[in-house]
Amino acid sequence: MAVNSAAIRWLGDHLQLLDQRCLPTETLWLDIRDSQQAADAIRNMVVRGAPAIGITAAYGLALEAQSMGNDASWVTLQNAVATLADSRPTAVNLFWALERLQRYAGDLQGKALAQALAEDAEAIHREDLAANQAMGEFGADLLPSGATVYTHCNTGALATGGHGTALGIIRSAWARNQLTGVFAGETRPWLQGSRLTSWELLNDGIPVTLVADSCAGQLMQQGKIQAVIVGADRITANGDTANKIGTYNLAVLAQHHNIPFIVAAPVSTLDPALPNGSHIVIEERDANEVRNVQGKSLAPEHCPVYNPAFDITPAQLITAIVTERGVVHCPDTAKINSHLAQTKES
């Protein structure tokens, strides 16, 4: 059965991914037929955003099982699991999805295993959309009427199973007539803000103003921002949050200006196994992502570069974490624990 979202189409015997490297100028869909192609698409940013990476990994494993026919078993799939797990290190949703699929280990083989994996990948895809819609409502409740918000990176339909996390809150608040506008930081070096977030918001008719990342402080100083809303790639047991590089800068600025700093992420982004953010592996990406923009060189050819893809925002700087289960205000280990223990929204 086909399951479709803005950037991920499941067609039963293969996957199609919208190549996010080409947006907003070109709409190109790539066919993915096995786990290696899925891992390459994740590593090379054809697909990106923590939940979308997890969904893609799940389909990638299902495709690998399909291609193995009668030989498919959890044991014969271990190379594919390792290949997918090696694609990007920081977003925990990737590992969460692979671990979830492990529930079929031992019980099923061959076509039955392939079918179970595909059905669960579809469930992960659908559940993420539902989680984002719930998160959108919980998050919108936190915003004052007429708010203008600032967001970073891309956390929208392109990055998830649909609607989005931080962008989902923005969409829900806009639908309630609660929002005046959105400032989107361009998100150097990969430009998720300018290439993807502004594109999604303009397509939805939500008033967005694109700014250079370095503009955030001035906007806050001028009183133009009522909340900062971002996504997450991994949230540790104490609430420390890994997200796109530059998120920490925004949290420090928000605290200085007494502006709420809201993190939106599904429960699949919580990693209670890690006590705090110092344990998170931060991906470092190719130097040319910083030296070049769209293939055009902007720096001396061999200039040394430091290119971490993510940073850690300490829990103390976070006003609230919003998941599909509700809101954790001023997060700490005890509150995250009890949030995880509850089965439905607070």
Cα 41–chain centre separation? 15
25: Cβ contacts below 8 Å, ≥ 6 apart: none
Q: Which of 189, 231, 246, 260 binds ligand MRU (CB under 6 A)?
A: 231
In the structure encoding, which two tokens stand for residue 323, read together?
A: 């998941």
SS3 sequence of 104-129: HCCCCCHHHHHHHHHHHHHHHHHHHH
165 binds ligand MRU per the rule CB under 6 A: yes
Site for ligand MRU in 72-111 (CB under 6 A): 91
Q: Taking CB positions, which residue lies at the least distance from ligand MRU? A: 231
Bridge partners of 184, per DSSP, are 151, 210
Quote the least distance from Cβ 203 to ligand MRU, whole Å.
17
Q: Is 192 among the residues that bind ligand MRU (CB under 6 A)?
A: yes
- In degrees and rounded to multiples of 5, residue 265 shows phi and psi of -160, 145
Residues 3-42 that bind ligand MRU (CB under 6 A): none
Number of residues located near ligand MRU, criterion CB under 6 A? 17
- Rounded Cα gap, residues 2 and 12, in angstroms: 6
Identify the CA nearest to 52 among candidates 238, 266, 301, 221: 266
Q: Please state the closest distance from residue 288 (CB atom) to ligand MRU, in A.
A: 16
Taking the least distance from each CB to ligand MRU, the nearer of 109 and 155 is 155
Encoded amino acid at 38, one letter:
A
Site membership for ligand MRU, residue 186 (CB under 6 A): no
Paired tokens of 137: 């409502």
Taking residues 299 to 338 in sequence order and writing x for each that binds ligand MRU by CB under 6 A, - otherwise, the string is ----------x-----------------------------
> Does residue 135 touch ligand MRU according to CB under 6 A?
no
Sequence-ordered strand ranges (E) for 127-201: 147-151, 179-185
Our finding on whether 251 is near ligand MRU (CB under 6 A) is no
- Smallest separation, CB 107 to ligand MRU (Å): 32
Give catalytic residues, as residue numbers: 233
CA nearest 118: which of 58, 51, 201, 45? Answer: 58
Give me the sign of the Cα torsion angle 157, 163, 165, 170: positive
C-beta closer to ligand MRU: residue 41 or 77: 41
- Residue 49 touches ligand MRU, criterion: CB under 6 A: yes
CB of 174 to ligand MRU, least distance (A): 17
261 strand-pairing partners:
228
Site for ligand MRU contains 136 (CB under 6 A):
no
| Residues binding ligand MRU (CB under 6 A) | 48-51, 91, 153, 155, 159-160, 165, 192, 231-233, 243-244, 309
